A = this chain, B = another copy of it.
Amino acid sequence: MCGIVGIVSTEPANQQIYDSLLLLQHRGQDSTGIATANGSMFHMHKARGQVREAFRTRDMRSLLGNMGVGHVRYVTKGDAENERESQPFYVNAPYGIILVHNGNLTNTRELTEDLFRIDRRHMNSTSDTEMLVNVLATELEGQISGRELTPDQVFAAVSQVHERVEGSYATIAMIAGHGLLAFRDPWGIRPLILGRRTAAGGDRDEWIVASESLVLEAGEYEVVRDVAPGEAVYITLEGELYSQQCARSPRLVPCSFEYVYLARPDSIMNGISVYEARLRLGDRLADTVARYAPAGDVDVVMPIPDSSRPAAMNVAQKLGVEYREGFYKNRYVGRTFIMPGQAQRKRSVRQKLNAMSTEFRGKNVLIIDDSIVRGTTSKEIVDMARHAGANKVTFASAAPPVRYPHVYGINMPSRKELVASGRSISEIATLLGADNLIYQTVDDMKSAILEGQSTISDLEMSCFTGEYITGTVTDEYLAWVEKTQLS
């Protein structure tokens, strides 16, 4: 999970990118990077931690220039490798390119081989982003003939990138001395949206490209459009925008998990309001609850703060049952220090959530979560509800059972850690300790998200269905991924 932003402004870009990354912080909290271009000179700072922890005044002061890109990142693997895998990535020929990327490439094994043997390019990490910037660099080099760099050459290079890489990739790159390039994979799996505002002087446009629309809104940019699947957008340092469809058969199949959990509710993504999609997920879920939960089993509906609130509110409204907030969420998270001679203690969900017994005592509660992945948190929540005095505990997920790995840029555990993998719903209910467990159906999820628009007819839902949109995601591939990346 990552959030990205790129800006071509007429004022210093550093604070704008910093502010944008704060708004994308929910997409990744483990490392932060910003790069800017001052004329043809690049400046870059990346560090561990959230935006606020990673940037000090002197770091910001070094980030000169009016063009820039930023990245927030969620990491899965061990400490040692983190820093060298942090984005952005830089290559120094041709021109100098700095790139950020949200997504995941699924043919990295082939790319590694080709980049080393054929392109003689050095990979100094195992990051697919470093591969992506090197593929782009190689293809751009292959397009250049004369002295100038034309938008057509840039777009031809992106077309070649689409041929060589596979997977999800919402991408923003700076080309030193020239401009900012943004493009999205041919299925538009990960989001990318384009905004414009008039520069203070009034004589030219300023541009922004970001993962989510709320970044545009906060920066007072008007939304131009989502970058289309397969499309490339190229903005010169002077603020001229060029765009072109660079994929052979693009088709918009956005990731369903953005609507279920990842995106901020106040974003509009691919024309669909995330908040309203979540309200509709609640409406649909209410119907299923009504079908499977005996009358009288639900005195009160409760969300798990913060992400399931919209769904829970609408479940309550449609069922005509009272909505109550019974869980209090502690915002301050610390660490367990390992003292010499001590073993690691388990941190439980109780440090993050507390149940207000007033709301539970003697009641039949329906707890709504956005989704259930490992199930460990859900189990603890059910337990807390009982401990707080609940009579009956029904648990409902606004998303269908998660049964397969997500390979397009959302971090999930391997199959054997997914509670729904290879288990029936009643087996899961028993495991969670719930009196009743209700899941959204795949069809309901899909129709809830897509309702009210006609441009999108399909969603990337592989973690629920096991059907992967890119052909090469085979069982052998999944096994390799689980072995190398999810450990």
Contact = CB atoms under 8 A, between A and B. Distances in A.
A119 to B, nearest CB: 7
A51 interface: yes
Could you say how many copies of this chain the assembly holds?
Answer: 4
A22 B333 contact: yes
Contacts of A265: 328, 356
Given A328-B264, A336-B15, A337-B14, A350 B218 contact: yes
A275 interface: yes
Given A52-B332, A93-B138, 4 more contacts: A15-B339, A22-B333, A265-B328, A331-B331
A324 to B, nearest CB: 6
Given A19-B334, A335-B52, A93 B119 contact: yes
Interface residues of A, number: 80
Contacts of A25: 331-332
A96 B124 contact: yes
Contacts of A329: 306
Interface string A230-274: 000000000000000000000000000000000011100000010
Contacts of A144: 120
Given A121-B92, A137-B93, A351-B218, A332 B61 contact: no
Interface in A57-105: 57, 60-61, 91-97
Contacts of A57: 337-338
Interface in A127-160: 134, 137-138, 141, 144, 147
Contacts of A52: 332-335
A377 interface: no
Contacts of A166: none
B124 A41 contact: yes
A330 interface: yes
A327 to B, nearest CB: 10
A122 interface: yes
Contacts of A117: 147
Nearest to A274: B356
Given A339-B60, A339-B61, A356-B266, A334 B18 contact: yes
A356 to B, nearest CB: 5
Contacts of A93: 91, 93, 119-122, 134, 137-138
A12 interface: yes
A363 interface: no
B334 A122 contact: no
A26 interface: yes
Shortest Cβ-Cβ A-B pairs, 9 listed: A96-B122, A25-B332, A94-B120, A60-B337, A22-B334, A266-B354, A92-B122, A93-B121, A122-B176
A309 B359 CA distance: 13
B95 A122 contact: yes
A107 interface: no
A402 interface: no
Interface string A315-331: 00100001111001111
Nearest to A50: B332
A276 interface: yes
A256 to B, nearest CB: 20
Nearest to A354: B266
Contacts of A218: 350-351
A16 to B, nearest CB: 11
A12 B333 CA distance: 21
Contacts of A15: 336-337, 339
B134 A92 contact: yes
Contacts of A134: 92-93
A214 interface: yes
A310 to B, nearest CB: 8
Contacts of A22: 330, 332-334, 351
Contacts of A116: 40
A23 interface: yes
A358 interface: yes
A72 to B, nearest CB: 10
A294 interface: no
Contacts of A55: 337
A64 to B, nearest CB: 9
A145 to B, nearest CB: 11
A330 to B, nearest CB: 7
A310 B95 CA distance: 52
